[in-house]
Structure 1
Amino acid sequence: MTPVGTTGGTAAATEKPAAPGARAGAGANLARLPDIAPLVILLLALGIFFSIKSEFFLNYDNFLNILTAAAITGIIAAPATLLMVAGQFDLSVGSGLTFCGVLMAYVADKQGIFAGIVAALAGGVLLGLVNGTLVTVIGVNPLITTLATLAAFAGLARVIADGQTLPVNGFSSLGTSRPIFDIPLPVIIFAVVVVGFYVLMRYTVIGRSMYAIGSNPVAARLTGLRTGRLIFAGFLLSGLFVALAGLINVSQLSAASTQAGNGLELSVITAVVLGGASLAGGRGTIVGTLFGLLVIATLNNGLTLLSVNSFWQDVARGTLLALAVSFDQLRLRLTRE
């Protein structure tokens, strides 16, 4: 006869591991879930909702408006994704865009458009050099570094412009022309940047090295990767594309405003994190960032069509960022279990 205690012990033994197993299964399933899957669902849901609420949402011109609105943020978000994959981030992109735009307008007024363009690109390189040097050579934390340059370059822009908006004449083509199929040039540039960074991050040694640095910087260094040089190059790329975005912004407005880049860093980080990049590094894709951008741009566009106060767009971006970071932490926690 089997003792009563034996039967009970056997049942308990088979029942107790079920909960940890279930948790592990849930964590594995969450980890295997494609980063863009929730974004695709959210994007479809937003599209259906705004199509029902506004007759102006579901048309070709409005889709171009959404892509145009996402272009400047997306051009900056591409190198930001590369940096975040390596465990780095750049909070100075908003003030960098403002600084490059103001520098372009100031120099163009005195020396001509071409000189202004060169000055703006030089300003972007300067931003990347300062950030890269402070982070990789001196060893300052990237958060502190880019917060400092955010304030410094915003101040420099106001000094150069004397706090005023500087007009720029004869420079509208970059931001407003439609050379192919009536598609705005900024959207075409944005598409080229996305494809370029997709190839860079997926198929090149540099891209794979950035993933390795973000996953385990010590191991990456021990395997011979020049982590400092790669991160420095990442900040340089960020500065250059900030300058490009600044030029597009000036071209669209025919002016350089000292407020042009306000809050841009929040939009960039939200798009990158929403797209599946981890603040801890080692994970993230350009495709994910693209869908994150589209979600944000669609939400902003829909709220505008519904005549919702523009301040609610900031609330929406902040909420999306909080949700994206929370989802990232939940994924990491369940994966560890």
Structure 2
Amino acid sequence: MSETLTQRATPARDASARPRGRRRAPETIGLLVFLVAEIVFFSVQSPYFLNWDNWGNIMTAVAITGVLAAAGTLLLVAGQFDLSVGSGVAFVGIVLVQTAPSLGIVPAMALAVLAGLGIGLLNGFLVTVVGVNALITTLGMLGIFRGLTLVIGKGQSIFIEGFDWATARPFLGIPMPAIVLVAVIAVFFVLMHFTVYGRKMYAIGANPVAARLVGIRVNRVIFTGFLLSGACMALAGLLVTSQLGSSSANTGVGLELAVVTAVILGGTSLSGGTGTIFGTVVGLLIVGVLSNGLTLLNVDSSWQQVATGVLLILAVAVDRLRQAYLRKAG
């Protein structure tokens, strides 16, 4: 019954599903061509780029962003944002390192996961129950939890011992963060493309009023999306704390920009209703390969930030042009 209602929620989109699929194909191909061009360029410029260990470094570098971007794609498809992810990751980490000495690693991990879920719950409550705009809500939460992390950690880096699982390479020399990223991407791919819940998120992003009229509980569905984002914050917080062996108020700074860049660059529309996990993965790799390649070429990190900002602006510009084209076409 739910599936039928979801399919009815977007009759216009269902009727044009094939034409839209053809229109999206060039965009995906364009992203892949750009990624391949990056790989070829940096391969020619540096003999170390195609090294297996270097690709392990790339996957490790993009893992945290990728875990958060998976949930970010799901939310943006429904027309929602979560800009609190960076401070959420830092808060999860500080909860872990502060409680581990007294509680032990496993109870501290459980408490840290609850902290991440709590952030998602607060975001979801404010957006769906109180009715505060998602952008304002999550920007506010960004400041709140960055401040709380600073207060709890007293502005210092706090180290943790015996929590280095994310530094392991358990299979074929593949780093653990890369394995976690692949698992998360697989889960969200199935969730978005093969479940009723995923179709509901697309329907809400396409037309929330129509989705509500045909019986979709819009607020409940969106609330669940924010909870999933909180779960990804928790996982990312555990990953980054294990990688660094510490946490501080500066942990996760700039993750919001990195996540938004990957998601929008991958083709997820700011207007909601369209986007894929595959596109986000390609966008993530484009940013990761660019950063790694520039590092190998000894380009200053400040210019790497400039390049990331340019990519974000270009991605938003392309999204606007695509929306204008779709409105003209139909």
TM-score, normalisation: structure 2: 0.92
Please tell me whether residue 231 in structure 1 is matched to residue 201 in structure 2: no
Query: Are residue 261 (structure 1) and residue 225 (structure 2) matched?
Result: no
User: How far 1:112 moved relative to its partner?
Assistant: 1.3
Residue 84 of structure 1 corresponds to: 76
Q: Which runs of 5+ in 2 are unaligned?
A: 1-18
**1:325 counterpart = 2:323:** no
Mapped partners of 1:284, 1:257: distance in 2 = 34
Pick the aligned partner of 1:46 from 38, 48, 51.
Answer: 38
Which residue does 1:316 correspond to in 2? 307
Describe the superposition over 1:257-309 as per-residue Cα deviations: whole angstroms up to 9, x where unpaired. Answer: 21111000000010000000001100010000000000000000001111111
Deviation, structure 1 residue 139: 0.4
Contact 2:79–2:273 under 8 Å retained in 1: yes
Please state how far the C-alpha of 1:317 moved relative to its aligned partner.
1.3
Task: Label 1:169 to 1:208 Cα distance change in 2 as closer, same or farther (>3 A).
Answer: same
Q: Structure 1 regions of 5+ residues with no counterpart?
A: 1-26
Give the secondary structure class of the aligned counterpart of 1:79.
helix
Letter matched to residue 135 of structure 1:
V
Following superposition, the deviation at residue 29 of structure 1 comes to 10
Decide which of 42, 48, 55 is 1:56's aligned counterpart. 48
User: CA separation in 2, counterparts of 1:124 and 1:32?
Assistant: 34
Residue identity over aligned pairs, in percent, reads: 54
- Distance of aligned partners of 1:112 and 1:308 in 2 relative to their CA distance in 1, 3 Å threshold: same
Q: Is the 8 A contact 1:35 1:288 kept in 2?
A: no
Q: Which has the larger radius of gyration?
A: 1
Matched, 1:193 2:184: yes
Ranges of 4+ aligned residues in structure 1 off by more than 6 Å: 27-30
1:151 matched residue in structure 2? 143
The answer on whether the counterparts of 1:95 and 1:151 sit within 8 Å (CA) in structure 2 is yes
Between 235-244 and 33-42, report the one with greater CA deviation: 33-42
Distance in 2 (alpha carbons) for counterparts of 1:144 and 1:65: 35
Deviation readout 1:220-240 (Å, 9 max, x if unpaired): 000100110010000000011
What letter matches 1:52 in structure 2? V
Pairs aligned (count): 310
Does the CA-based 8 Å contact 1:31-1:331 persist in structure 2? Answer: no
Q: CA RMSD in A?
A: 1.4
Alignment of structure 1 residues 104-183 onto 2, 5 Å? 104-173=96-165, 175-183=166-174
Is the counterpart of residue 292 in structure 1 residue 283 in structure 2?
Answer: yes
Please say if residues 150 and 248 of structure 2, whose CA atoms lie closer than 8 Å, have aligned partners that are also in contact: no
Q: Deviations over 1:54-93 (max 9, x none)?
A: 1111111111111111111101110110000000010000
